[in-house]
Amino acid sequence: MLAKHLAEGRQQGDFAPTEKLFGEIGRIMLTQSRDGSSLPSQSIRHSHSEVMPMPRLFLRLVVLVAALTIPSRSFADPISINFDSLSEFDPVTTQLPGLTFSNATVLTSGSSLNDIEFPPHSGQNVIFDDGGPMSIAFSSPVFGVGGFFTYLAPLTLSAYDASSNLIASITSSYLSNLALSGDSGSLPNELLTLTSLAGISSLTISGDSAGGSFVLDDLTFDNTPPVSTPEPTTLVLLGMGLVTAWGVRRRRETEEAVDN
């Protein structure tokens, strides 16, 4: 796939394959930078004597079990960043609270970004791997992180704990998911996510080793631990316990009625 992009680049003016990321303005500015110019920088309550009828009890049990078996939200209050607060060609480092980026630069739709092949997931701005694998360090561990990626080379996301131990990883579904020339069946803006109860302190996103191989939009992360859902066995025991309690109570009511 990279060879194909290289051939296309040569036909269009000797641009390297990674420059497929850039729109016309971006290519002009990139050319200027190669000539020595600098790129712009910006930046129900019951009485004790009441006995609940059996059908109603079972109905309550069904509702209770159903409620408990609905998967709880894995993460609460996620934080999402679309990079629209930054300026075109900004090197992204520490501008976003709690995050430190490396090898990340802003591109803007309709200008420096080739949005025909790399359409943003939302807004106008995306960031790309500028010069090598992109990394993101979190000031405090997060338990889930993800984003929307459009890429011209296979991606691997690797999550590390505070001791730099690999704790989770995921790879892209395709070799390329560009909007026009991506692999058959692919779509741009593939959602890739990682979760870990150990806490993710940093994330590395690797495409082409030289960079310029993907864009990231709508980065989302959450530093709240996930809420666990009761195991099926626990729910069965709960149901059996409630039925048993109803039976004991019903028998006592019957005995009292006979004695009276």
| pLDDT tens track for 126-182 | 999 999 999 999 999 999 999 999 999 999 999 999 999 999 999 999 999 999 999
Q: What average pLDDT does the segment 6-12 reach?
A: 41
User: Tokens 């110019």 identify what position?
Assistant: 37
State the number of CA atoms in the 13 A half-sphere of 85 facing the CB: 8
Query: Would you state the pLDDT for residue 131?
Result: 97
DSSP E strand stretches across the chain: 79-81, 99-102, 104-108, 125-129, 134-151, 156-160, 166-171, 190-206, 214-222
User: What token pair was written down for 100?
Assistant: 């430190």
User: In the structure, what pLDDT confidence band is assigned to residue 225 with cuts at 50, 70 and 90?
Assistant: confident
| pLDDT tens track for 236-253 | 555 666 656 666 666 666
Torsional sign, CA 95, 191, 170, 210: negative
Measured in whole angstroms, the distance separating CA 17 from the mean position of its chain's CA atoms is 27
Query: Would you state the pLDDT for residue 240?
Result: 61
Query: Would you state the pLDDT for residue 81?
Result: 96
User: In the structure, what pLDDT confidence band is assigned to residue 187 with cuts at 50, 70 and 90?
Assistant: very high
Torsional sign, CA 254, 255, 256, 257: positive
The whole-angstrom separation of Cα 249 and Cα 242 is 11
What are the domain boundaries of the chain? 2-34, 62-72+236-260, 79-222
Query: Would you state the pLDDT for residue 21?
Result: 75
First-residue to last-residue Cα distance in the chain? 88
With a CB cutoff of 8 Å and minimum separation 6, the contacts of 147 are 191, 192, 216, 217, 218, 219, 220
Residue 22 has what DSSP assignment? B
User: What token pair was written down for 233?
Assistant: 């066995």
Q: Which helix (H) or strand (E) holds 13?
A: none
User: What token pair was written down for 205?
Assistant: 């996103």
pTM: 0.67
| pLDDT tens track for 28-69 | 555 555 455 444 333 334 444 444 455 555 556 555 555 555
Helix (H, G, I), strand (E, B) or coil at 96: coil
Give residue 214's identity as a one-letter amino acid code.
F
Q: 79-222 adopts what CATH topology?
A: Jelly Rolls (2.60.120)
Query: Would you state the pLDDT for residue 120?
Result: 98
| pLDDT tens track for 75-123 | 557 999 999 999 999 999 999 999 999 999 999 999 999 999 999 999 9
Query: Would you state the pLDDT for residue 23?
Result: 73
The whole-angstrom separation of Cα 132 and Cα 21 is 14
User: What token pair was written down for 46?
Assistant: 């019951």
| pLDDT tens track for 13-24 | 444 555 677 776
